[in-house]
Amino acid sequence: MEPRCIPQSGELAAEVKGRRENKIWYLKISKLALAFAIIRSKPPGKSCKEYTEHLAKIVSEQDFDWKLKVEALEAEIFRLRQELLLNKICQRVCLENGKQCASAETLLDEECINPVSYSSQLEDSGCDVSNDYAFNSLGVASDFQELEHTVDTSKRWLEIVPPLNLCCASKERSLTVPVQFFQHLLEIRKLSEGGMLQADFTELENDSFTVYNSVSQLLDGLTVFYSSPKFPVSSFLTDAVCVLIRLVTDAKLSNHVLKKCFRKLEEFMKNLIQIILRNSNVNRFQALDAVSHTLVLLGRNNILRNSLMSFLLSELQQFAEQMMQAYQIQAMYDITQYENIFSLFMILEQLLHSETEESNISDSGCDGEEKIKFLKNVDQIILHLSDEFPLFSLYLWRVSVLLNSAQIQID
């Protein structure tokens, strides 16, 4: 066997250069051929430019239709993944214990006779809850068929969950899939708590993709709504917020959800804080109240409370320093942000009060770095701004007193 000749570096460079020149030449020839084809097929009474733009529009519309079909397939695959996960949670118990399934089906019959909407089920809590409470375009068709077949074979086990009524406007349809998924999950949790079902929630750990993407869709949809809210708020959006609150405060489900979605929930709270600070609409205070209420409810969760209070203290510390600097150099300040900052004060005060009432001070996140930064120069800021900004100074003082009293009780 004759030894193969190893090309020298100069020969290799020449070969690469020749290939590049061939590609450039082929591209130029293709463009020239396309131009000749357009000129020859151009209808009379239309210029080459107009005809080219017309052809480009047709191609772009076809491409857009293709993307819509792909997005619809992706959405359906994701919905089937959610349904499959719910089936896995219920399937083992139903196969092992038919009596429990039968009792759940009896409950389903009673629900069908006297249907109750999900909104009415949440009226007792009023959202004031506690701790009790790679897409591959080549494989879309096969994945879709496989998921659909798997779900169809086990779909009967999902029938133990009472049907849920979801009515929403067209702009809210993006929230329908995640809300329905979490509503079913909460209903399964309710049945298992009542002893009618022993659901295996460890399945949530095995499908982090579905759980994370469901939470992401829900949070992104709520962020869009809060960025440009429309009043009166529809009952569906109220249900969506209630589902989110129940999800993160449920003693059992939150352990699985927060592990995978903690950073996403932190990002959501940061976005809501920025929505409060940047809202400059004339009639904005109703919207600010809605966002503030949601943040307070999220802050009732011990884990989220620590992060939320840190974010609030950071924003208040930063704004107080800006006000101090503006006062010292007699500069202008953002009057809109000044008005909005009081919503953050009220959120923080409610969280501190509820923390004291629940005797969870030892678990507070306020004794960390953000608290130290906030209390370090707050007395000096209050002293200098009390004459020019008495209301702002008063709120600073009230928060500092609550933080100091919490530290005293810890000691």
At 70-92, the pLDDT tens digits run 888 888 898 999 999 988 888 55
b vs e for 187-209, b when ≥16 Cβ sit within 10 Å of the residue's Cβ?
Answer: bbbbbbeeebbebeeebbeebee
pLDDT at 262: 93
Question: What tokens does 407 get?
Answer: 């530290």
Give me Rg for the CA atoms of the chain: 30
pLDDT at 9: 61
* Residue 116 neighbours by CB distance under 10 Å: 11
Alpha carbon separation from 141 to 69, 129, 249, 277 (Å, rounded): 12, 42, 38, 46
pLDDT at 102: 47
**What distance in Å separates the CA atoms of residue 285 and residue 56, rounded to the nearest whole number?**
47
Per-run averaged pLDDT (10 residues), the chain, 411 residues: 55 75 84 79 80 77 74 87 89 50 45 41 40 36 47 46 50 81 90 78 88 94 90 85 92 87 95 95 90 93 90 94 89 91 95 73 56 86 91 94 72 49
312, 348 Cβ separation under 8 angstroms: yes
Question: Tens of pLDDT along 189-221?
Answer: 888 887 777 788 888 888 889 999 999 999 999
Domain boundaries, the chain: 67-159+169-272, 299-411
Q: What angle do CA 65, 68, 71 make, to 5 degrees?
A: 155
**What distance in Å separates the CA atoms of residue 62 and residue 59, rounded to the nearest whole number?**
5
Predicted TM-score of the model (pTM)? 0.69
231, 286 Cβ separation under 8 angstroms: yes
**What distance in Å separates the CA atoms of residue 296 and residue 293, rounded to the nearest whole number?**
5
**What distance in Å separates the CA atoms of residue 73 and residue 386, rounded to the nearest whole number?**
60
pLDDT at 161: 52
pLDDT at 200: 84
b vs e for 316-338, b when ≥16 Cβ sit within 10 Å of the residue's Cβ?
Answer: bbebbeebbebbeeeeeebeebb
* Residue 355 neighbours by CB distance under 10 Å: 23
Question: What tokens does 375 get?
Answer: 């209390």
**What distance in Å separates the CA atoms of residue 172 and residue 222, rounded to the nearest whole number?**
9
